[in-house]
Structure 1
Amino acid sequence: MASRRQPDSIPNNPNFGVFNTGHMSGPAQAAPFSHNATQVNNITNEAIDRARESIDDLRRRLEALRGLYPEVDAALRDLDAIAPRLAEPGSDPGTLRYMLQNLVERCGGIPGVLAAAEFVRSTVTALLPGSS
């Protein structure tokens, strides 16, 4: 019985596997089998304002809990380091992601602020290149 060769299931065009939901330009690679494409992150003032508002909200919540939990002061220091980076979030995205992860971990030990810390991570990560 002769077997028929199945066609290759991976299309061979340059943007296969790259989903663009906005304006793109700059390097992006979506999957191991995809080819390089370009992406541009057009960061709006609204997105930056949303990130700043989420940081301000978390800061108010943490300051209200100052002295009650040892993690509060460290989380406030994390916010102090994250906030100035919103001016150029793409300049060192790896460090900013690391800082956001530390913030969320610290806030996990403080009752009532984890959701606000996750919102900070979400709004700031949305500003970063190649965020997922």
Structure 2
Amino acid sequence: MPLGRNHPDPTPGGPNFGVINSGHMSGPVQAAAFSSNVSQTNHLAPGAVERAQDSIQDLRQLLDALSAQRPEAAQALRALDEISPRLNTADRDPGALRFMLETLTTACAAIPSVVAAAQAVHSSVAALLPAF
């Protein structure tokens, strides 16, 4: 029998659903539509933070070389200066890091020679963040 328009969706009792990301997933994860208080636990591969720091250093070197020629390089360097120290803290502030990554990607989009390196930073740092 259909519930009709004014009836809420059924909510199962019992424990809530959780999402566990083991680092081998290739797409977005979504818990069941009726679940509440969903949590996600990331299991990062060993060396993930180091790889992110390495990609930041690679991009920083490219941007340093271009900083005299391209004003966008200075903006991108400021974003990197904000991103890098946050990776070593336990609470990475995902919202702020996502905003900084967007700022970095936008600034680097105007410099064709660093777009790939900026995308590498974006991917390696975003992999450290919870997917919500």
TM-score between the two structures when normalised by the length of structure 2? 0.73
Which residue does the alignment assign to 1:40? Answer: 41
Root-mean-square deviation (Å): 2.9
Q: Deviations over 1:89-127 (max 9, x none)?
A: 644110110001000000000121111111111111111
Q: Compared with structure 1, are the counterparts of its residues 117 and 38 closer, same or farther at alpha carbon in structure 2 (3 Å cutoff)?
A: same
Which residue does the alignment assign to 2:115? Answer: 114
Contact 2:76–2:104 under 8 Å retained in 1:
yes
Taking the aligned partners of 1:93 and 1:115, their CA distance within structure 2 comes to 22
Taking the aligned partners of 2:65 and 2:58, their CA distance within structure 1 comes to 11
Matches within 5 A, 1:1-132: 14-15=16-17, 20-22=20-22, 30-88=31-89, 90-128=91-129, 130-131=130-131
TM-score between the two structures when normalised by the length of structure 1? 0.73
- Higher RCO, 1 or 2 (CA under 8 Å, sep at least 6)? 2
Give the secondary-structure state (helix, strand or coil) at the position aligned to 1:68: coil
Contact 1:103–1:117 under 8 Å retained in 2:
yes
Structure 2, gaps ≥5 residues long: 3-9, 24-28
- Post-superposition offset of 1:44: 4.3
Which residue does the alignment assign to 2:6? Answer: none
Contact 2:21–2:42 under 8 Å retained in 1:
no
Contact 1:29–1:36 under 8 Å retained in 2:
no
Contact 2:44–2:128 under 8 Å retained in 1:
yes
Q: Deviations over 1:27-82 (max 9, x none)?
A: x9635433434432233441001100110111111112121111011111111111
Contact 2:72–2:111 under 8 Å retained in 1:
yes
Equivalent pairs counted in the alignment come to 118
